Structure 1
Amino acid sequence: MKSTETLEDFYRVKFGINYEGINADLGHFNVFKMEDCSGPGKPPVQYSRRDFYKIALLRGTHLYHYGDKTLQVSGSTLIFFNPQIPYTFQPLTETQEGYFCIFKDAFFTGHLRSGIKDLPMYAPGCKPAYVLNSEQDEAFARIFDKMVEEMQSDYVFKSDLIRTYIMEIIHGALKLQPSETLYKHTDANARIAAVFTELLERQFPIESRSQHFQLRSAKDFAEKLNLHPNHLNRAIKAVTGKTTTSHIAERVVTEAIALLKHTDWNISEISFTLGFEQPAHFTNFFKRQTSLTPSAFRV
């Protein structure tokens, strides 16, 4: 598994363009028709993380691999790809149709009160795929067509207009599937749970063998948050119905599954990155969570 695909990698692999220095262009944006980038003779989409955001309107049937999850989507689907989560999609139909756009977080710097990463479809644990009916497909396709047209124009304020089109897509999606993350945290327990989740997610994804998962227990998180472990546990339980330990274990096993499925790292290397002192401890933990050993899961 390649750790992260950069914009330079994208243009070199997809179009054979040696676009040196593009990663320094923090405000980069581009939009494409799917048929120009997929199909016979075009390289498949590799499973990896990217250093840029992507929004895609996919038509047809695809297997969609996102983190540790694999979904089959059919028809027209709008998908928001987060650079923090590795992904790929495998077409199951011969013809590739649709659109996608790519952009860096800095494309919105100074234009949103908070960053693009704080939007609900990019939040940890979100559901980033929106199945569309024919009318919705047409509406989103018109927006992508406007972006394609604008990219070919010499309008001096086209970046501002394109940002408006992206936000139109985002808000159109939110209307289809409202997200609970839109609601503000209403009490102290909810705020504690939100900060705990942020600290937990900040340690992922694991991208190299040298990474090491640090905050592994409720006590570790409580110390970081300047709370008593019992206070933290009560808050997490009240908000989510699960213990702090359960949340940590579920997130660790999710990352373990992703590493076992999509890297060639050996069990010792994976156990080290996930904070286990001995591979045997990791094996016992993984078996408790999944009823399989890591080696048996990989077979």
Structure 2
Amino acid sequence: MTRQKATDRPPVFNNLIENYEYLGLPVDLIDPKNDFTIHKLMDIHGELPFKSCVYRANFYSFLFIKDGEGRYTTDDLEFNTKPNTIYFTNPGHYKSFEWYCLKEVYLVTMSESFLKENVHANIFEEFPFLLAETVPARVLEPAVFAEFEPLYLQIYKEYFSNSPYKNKIIGNLFVVLLLKIKEYFWEDYNPIYEGNRSSQIVKNFKRTLEKHYRELSTGKAKRVFRAQDYANEQNLHPNYLNNVIKTKTGKSVSTWIIDKTITEAKSLLQNSATPIKQIADQLGFAETAHFSNYFKKYTDTTPVLYRKHLGTGVS
């Protein structure tokens, strides 16, 4: 079976529910209130074979294939799925997939906010491979893959629990899973080598973006970088940088900056008792009102209401 819709350009999905609704797949096993999902693909794909359209996904995906057959494409990278395969992609790529057989395959997806809030505050410093532009799938020895299986199965169990600590439990389990991934097939990962000039520009931009916001949150940087600053970091014209970033990731430099600002703001509002005025200062806003308006523009709520909804009681 093929799910394809005619369109002038590939659709863009910000979460798995949008992705599956467009493809005509069931979404009843996905929690719409959570930026994290995990499910068995055989529970989703009732009819095989299945072929998706080409699309862009603005979320992280991890695929654990114990037993399944199909094909995945990410940008120019294409591979046939095999048993004992682990596959990872980050946001912004052209993707498509086909499935011919699904016996035991688990898909995990999450947003950057979930990673930073529940997995690791300095997620990209601890796990730099998460910034890699494209990463080939890895086929592991059965004994090695067996070390990952109890981790994602426990995450699956927690995902469907009613524990008030569900996200934190999942986050801590995912830290262990990422450490195992790092140990087994990214131990010799070189974050600079990506194969061509455009890939290096994307990689350097993402690393600079992450480093700068980390310095903002710790007070080491006082001024928010603009597109010109990121271009200067690589001795590029800002128009050229924006063209490369937009072409390779589907998002402009300014959109990356907006998304990162909102992600950091949410993380600070949720995970600290820092006053909102201080958060505004840390993120480079001269006025608290400006920060509040900015936050509301991109989230449809104010920092005060966002924090109130989380139940922190801090303003």
Q: TM-score range by the shorter chain?
A: 0.5 to 0.7
Deviation at 1:72, TM superposition (A): 2.6
Secondary structure of 1:89 counterpart: strand
Take 2:153 and 2:233, find their aligned partners in 1: how far apart are those partners? 51
| 1:65 and 2:76 correspond | no
Residues 73-222 of structure 1 aligned to structure 2 (within 5 Å)? 73-91=81-99, 93-111=100-118, 112-115=120-123, 119-177=127-185, 178-181=187-190, 197-199=203-205
Q: Which position in structure 2 is the counterpart of 1:49?
A: 56
| 1:32 and 2:39 correspond | yes
Take 1:223 and 1:106, find their aligned partners in 2: how far apart are those partners? 22
Render the CA deviation track for 1:180-221: whole Å, top value 9, x for unaligned: 3479xxxxxxxxx9778534999xxxxxxxxxxxxxxxxxx9
What letter corresponds to residue 180 of structure 1 in structure 2? Y
What letter corresponds to residue 48 of structure 1 in structure 2? Y
Native 8 Å contact 2:74 2:134 kept in 1 = no
Native 8 Å contact 1:66 1:87 kept in 2 = yes
Native 8 Å contact 1:109 1:115 kept in 2 = yes
Q: Which position in structure 2 is the counterpart of 1:10?
A: 19
Are residues 104 and 199 of structure 1, via their aligned partners in 2, closer, same or farther at CA, if it must alter by over 3 Å?
closer
Render the CA deviation track for 1:215-256: whole Å, top value 9, x for unaligned: xxxxxx999327878xxxxxxxxxxxxxxxxxx9xx97xx69
- Structure 1 alignment gaps of length 5 or more: 184-192, 203-220, 230-247, 260-299
What letter corresponds to residue 26 of structure 2 in structure 1? F
Deviation at 1:65, TM superposition (A): 0.7
Aligned length: 207
Are residues 144 and 16 of structure 1, via their aligned partners in 2, closer, same or farther at CA, if it must alter by over 3 Å?
closer
Take 1:199 and 1:90, find their aligned partners in 2: how far apart are those partners? 32
Render the CA deviation track for 1:165-192: whole Å, top value 9, x for unaligned: 2222211111112243479xxxxxxxxx
Native 8 Å contact 2:124 2:131 kept in 1 = no
Identity %: 15
Are residues 85 and 11 of structure 1, via their aligned partners in 2, closer, same or farther at CA, if it must alter by over 3 Å?
closer
Q: Which position in structure 2 is the counterpart of 1:297?
A: none
Secondary structure of 1:153 counterpart: coil
Moved >6 Å (runs of 4+):
193-196, 226-229
Are residues 89 and 179 of structure 1, via their aligned partners in 2, closer, same or farther at CA, if it must alter by over 3 Å?
farther
Are residues 124 and 149 of structure 1, via their aligned partners in 2, closer, same or farther at CA, if it must alter by over 3 Å?
closer
Are residues 228 and 122 of structure 1, via their aligned partners in 2, closer, same or farther at CA, if it must alter by over 3 Å?
closer
Native 8 Å contact 1:117 1:123 kept in 2 = no
Are residues 201 and 223 of structure 1, via their aligned partners in 2, closer, same or farther at CA, if it must alter by over 3 Å?
closer
Render the CA deviation track for 1:17-68: whole Å, top value 9, x for unaligned: 599x94xx5x521210121123516863332111221111123333221111
Take 1:181 and 1:74, find their aligned partners in 2: how far apart are those partners? 25
Deviation at 1:154, TM superposition (A): 2.0
Are residues 82 and 195 of structure 1, via their aligned partners in 2, closer, same or farther at CA, if it must alter by over 3 Å?
closer
Are residues 18 and 99 of structure 1, via their aligned partners in 2, closer, same or farther at CA, if it must alter by over 3 Å?
closer
Deviation at 1:96, TM superposition (A): 4.1
Take 1:101 and 1:119, find their aligned partners in 2: how far apart are those partners? 17
